[in-house]
Amino acid sequence: MYSGLLIILFPLVAGYLIPLRSKALIQAINRLLSWMVYVILFFMGISLAFLENLSSNLVLIFQYTAVFFLCIFCANLLLLVLLERRHPWKNNHRQEKLPSRLHMALESLKLCGVVLGGFALGLTQWPWLQWANAGSEYALIFLLLLVGIQLRNSGMTLRQIVLNRRGLLVAVVVAASALAGGALAAQLLGLPLKTGLAMASGFGWYSLSGILITDAYGPVLGSAAFFNDLARELVAIMLIPTLVRRSRSSALGLCGATSMDFTLPVLQRSGGLEIVPPAIVHGFLLSLLAPVLIALFS
């Protein structure tokens, strides 16, 4: 366990120790990070194609995805609604015209296309493709280094995180309820508790959770983690404009780790500028927790 934890934490911490002053370099790191996600997901698709009893494993992936998504999503929503009732988030914002939610959903689904592309190539069963597993491990280490650099240079300070009570509170509720949902899903599916907790620790960061879970548990659970967290983002995009009127905490919390990047424009236009600082703090904390918890539980 400790060696696996070190493999994940070392590049993450090493990247976090690298300060960058050049905006052009930071933008280049962000673009490279996006490309590395595509590369690793492509490798994940290839690995999936080399599974024995492929057809039965595809059914298993669908089953795991459905159960984990329902348990985690419902647990998140229940506790976030309770949080909103106990600590209402008052505001006077009027919703702006929103970006196309269909367009944003299609952007997310492009990642599914990358996995399917790798899967289609893997079905050829060319012997040299078996190097995909080793290639994905090296690519993962490099990706975590880039993630650490990105987090260090996101502009968030410890003072800003601690002082933003709403972002911190929603992040704690999301993390705790997701782990409870993951534990329930593991019980329903007959999986070890630690496996369920690891699956729940992606917090919507599908590009990372799928990769880390694949590395720890294999392509079946890795694919289920990817599709579970992707489904979370897609549902959040569709529900944010409705939820933000009744429960701003729920609208923010359901975005998970993506609230600091991909879903931030929808949150801002639906909830106003005042939702942006809590959204960034919330996303930052969950992004920091995700790889550490997945490594710990796996």
DSSP 190: T
The residue type at 275? I
Specify the pLDDT at position 7: 67
Give how many domains the chain has, as a whole number: 1
- Torsion sign across C-alpha atoms 21, 8, 227, 44: positive
Q: What domain range includes position 278?
A: 2-297
- Torsion sign across C-alpha atoms 122, 125, 129, 132: positive
Give pTM, 2 decimals. 0.76
Angle at 130 between CA 114 and CA 60, to 5 degrees: 60
Specify the pLDDT at position 59: 86
pLDDT 10s per residue in the chain (298 long)?
A: 445 556 667 887 888 888 888 888 888 888 888 788 788 778 878 877 776 666 778 889 899 999 999 999 999 999 999 998 988 877 665 555 555 656 666 666 677 788 888 888 988 888 888 787 778 778 878 877 887 887 777 766 666 666 778 889 999 999 999 999 999 999 999 999 999 999 999 998 877 888 889 888 888 898 899 889 888 888 887 788 788 878 889 989 999 988 877 777 778 777 777 787 888 889 888 988 998 899 889 8
Q: How far is CA 115 from CA 14, 45, 51, 132, 257, in A?
A: 29, 5, 15, 13, 21
Count of Cβ atoms closer than 10 Å to residue 142 Cβ: 16
Residue among 298, 23, 270, 57 at smallest CA distance from 182: 298
Rg for the chain, CA atoms, rounded: 19
Decide: 216 and 240 in contact? Cβ < 8 Å.
no
Specify the pLDDT at position 182: 96
Rounded Cα gap, residues 249 and 241, in angstroms: 12
Rounded Cα gap, residues 208 and 143, in angstroms: 9
Specify the pLDDT at position 2: 46
Residue among 19, 7, 1, 244 at smallest CA distance from 154: 19
